[in-house]
Amino acid sequence: MEISAKTKLDDLFQAYPFLLDFFINRSPKFKMLKSAVMRRTVGKVAPLSYVAERGEIPVGQLLSEIAAEVRAKSGDVLVIAAGEGGAEAPVLDDQARHEVLKGIIRDLHAGVEMAALKHRFHALIRDVEPTEIARMEQRLIAEGMPETEIKRLCDVHVELFKDSLVTQERPATPEGHPVHTFMAENAAAQRITGDLDLLLARLDGTQDGERFAGVQPGLTALLDNLSSINLHYLRKENQLFPVLEQHDINGPTEVMWAIHDDIRQTIKQARAEIAGAQLPQLYRTVQTLVQSVNDMIFKEEHILFPMALEILPEEDWAKVRLGEEEIGYAWIEAPAGGNAEAAGTGVESAKKGGEIDLDTGRMTPELVNLVLTHLPVDISFVNERDEVLYYSQTKDRIFPRSPGVIGRNVEKCHPPKSLHMVQRILSDFRAGTKDEAEFWIQMAGKFIHIRYFAVRDANGEYKGTLEVSQDVTGIRKLEGEQRLLDWE
């Protein structure tokens, strides 16, 4: 059924009698509908635009609430369309706009056609700000919609709002600003995806081995180049996302992080399919990769960055800038300005002061820092409140870290797909049922050993968790023995 501002109240009651209770409970102005006489008279001629006016409810909001009630009580999906003879007035009230947006997204998830929802969107809202999309996703997650479901249809959300978003100017920031740097990398990424598109056109889904042999070297080189996008995503995850979380923006960032992981996995899959000459699977995988990377660029430049620029003060952007060099940049040189002065402040303060008494000796803070950073392992420490207090900034870290992670809840430092296991480990450590967790993975030709240790004081009280990661590739290959006197 399609409803609009011109739909008669009686038609709704005939189709869905339970809506009578909805209206009576919705507003004191609708109590008159308890009268059967009023329903038979006014109900037969009153359009919903009149009903909304009497109830002092924006017509778009009322339509959305009716559709939601029908879907909840009967499972039917109502299509909200612009009324004949003119579209409904746009919804201007923030709360009403949010309710309409939520209704549209819920109907989208329920399977309503995109064309109908776009029509409804333009009729009732016209324009949407990037922050509204982020807040909508945040509230949907808070109201119980799983993040996995938001992620599954994230691209469809953007498609729904794209016509409105493309009319808005992309953010302009000075060189050295993190957003300027991110967008410079996006321009480089789009050149790579453009070249991949050209190679795909030559490949054209074929299973022809000769044609594949002609594009294989170029395809391999482009995928190797595109893999540097991991640095772009790592800076978002470790520098930008933490400060957004401090402003209660975490649902959209978790969804975006999950999509980062999908892109990383798709790059790995494409490389494996190249090695195995798996056609035409490779064609479809690279198509998906190009689309995913380009969609992420659109989401960044039309939603994430404008929202962040609106929300974050200058001091937060300084935090984002601090530590960027430690992670590195994709395809571009380090921006002018740098953060050496800011980064150096913390180091110098750590060097000040006298010696620290330890269990078996004493050292200055400077020496403690030097010892920790010279160990052949990566160390991270999370306190009893699950906050990251420290990581060792070793020369060649296995897993990148940056200052943005300090003070962050450890749950926000892991991709959504592994979050449940992190929570389980911390819960077992806190409960005292486990003291250690051990894992090993193979990554970029290296064999990585990862261990988590529960840290307890002399009374057995849980004080936090220590993570220790080590590249043991060389250790696993050792044979025989080499004694001290054999050293050269």
Residues of the chain with pLDDT > 90, as a percent, come to: 37
Q: How confident is the model at residue 96 (pLDDT cuts 50, 70, 90)?
A: low
- Furthest-apart CA pair in the chain: how many Å? 106
Q: Six-digit token pair at 356?
A: 């620290």
Q: Is 364 exposed, middle or buried (0-12, 13-18, 19+ CB in 10 A)?
A: middle
Closest CA to 249 of 132, 152, 103: 132
Q: What angle do CA 175, 177, 178 make, to 5 degrees?
A: 125
277-306 b/e (C-beta count within 10 Å ≥ 16 → b): ebbeebbebbbebbebbbbbbbbbbbbbbb
Q: Is the separation of the CB atoms in 408 and 242 below 8 Å? A: yes
**Over 80: is that where the pLDDT of 139 sits?**
no
**Over 60: is that where the pLDDT of 425 sits?**
yes
Better-scored residue on pLDDT, 479 or 142: 479
Average pLDDT of span 93-112: 69
Q: Is the separation of the CB atoms in 53 and 27 below 8 Å? A: no
Distance (Å, whole) CA 198 – CA 122: 35
What's the residue count for the chain? 488
**Over 90: is that where the pLDDT of 420 sits?**
no
Q: What is the pLDDT of residue 350?
A: 37
Q: Is the separation of the CB atoms in 324 and 402 below 8 Å? A: yes
Q: Tens digit of pLDDT for each residue in 449-462?
A: 999 999 999 899 99
Q: Six-digit token pair at 207?
A: 């299973």
Q: What is the pLDDT of residue 339?
A: 44
Better-scored residue on pLDDT, 272 or 90: 272
Which domains are seen in the chain, by residue range? 2-126 (no CATH), 178-327 (1.20.120.520), 354-476 (3.30.450.20)
Q: What is the pLDDT of residue 274?
A: 92
Q: Is the separation of the CB atoms in 318 and 342 below 8 Å? A: yes
Q: Tens digit of pLDDT for each residue in 43-65?
A: 777 888 888 888 888 887 788 78
Q: What is the pLDDT of residue 163?
A: 67
Better-scored residue on pLDDT, 306 or 252: 306
Average pLDDT of span 197-225: 85
* Beta strand ranges found along 22-103 (DSSP E): 79-80
**Over 50: is that where the pLDDT of 20 sits?**
yes
**Over 50: is that where the pLDDT of 228 sits?**
yes
Residues of the chain with pLDDT > 70, as a percent, come to: 83
Q: What is the pLDDT of residue 83?
A: 46
Q: Is the separation of the CB atoms in 416 and 397 below 8 Å? A: no
Whole-angstrom CA distances from 438 to 91, 219, 418, 466, 477 are 54, 37, 15, 12, 20
Q: Tens digit of pLDDT for each residue in 363-402?
A: 998 899 999 999 999 999 999 999 999 999 888 888 888 8
Q: What is the pLDDT of residue 227?
A: 96
Whole-angstrom CA distances from 361 to 194, 279, 355, 357, 390 are 60, 63, 10, 6, 22
* Beta strand ranges found along 256-307 (DSSP E): none
The answer for 339, left when phi > 0, alpha when psi is -120 to 50, beta otherwise, is: alpha
Q: Six-digit token pair at 128?
A: 């949407």
Q: What is the pLDDT of residue 452?
A: 96
Q: What is the pLDDT of residue 204?
A: 73
Which amino acid makes up residue 30?
F
Average pLDDT, the chain: 83
Average pLDDT of span 201-222: 82
For residue 446, list its beta bridge partners.
443
Q: What is the CA radius of gyration of the chain?
A: 28
Q: What is the pLDDT of residue 64?
A: 77
Closest CA to 386 of 417, 358, 416, 419: 419
Q: What is the pLDDT of residue 77?
A: 74
Q: Tens digit of pLDDT for each residue in 145-175?
A: 776 766 665 666 666 667 666 666 778 899 9
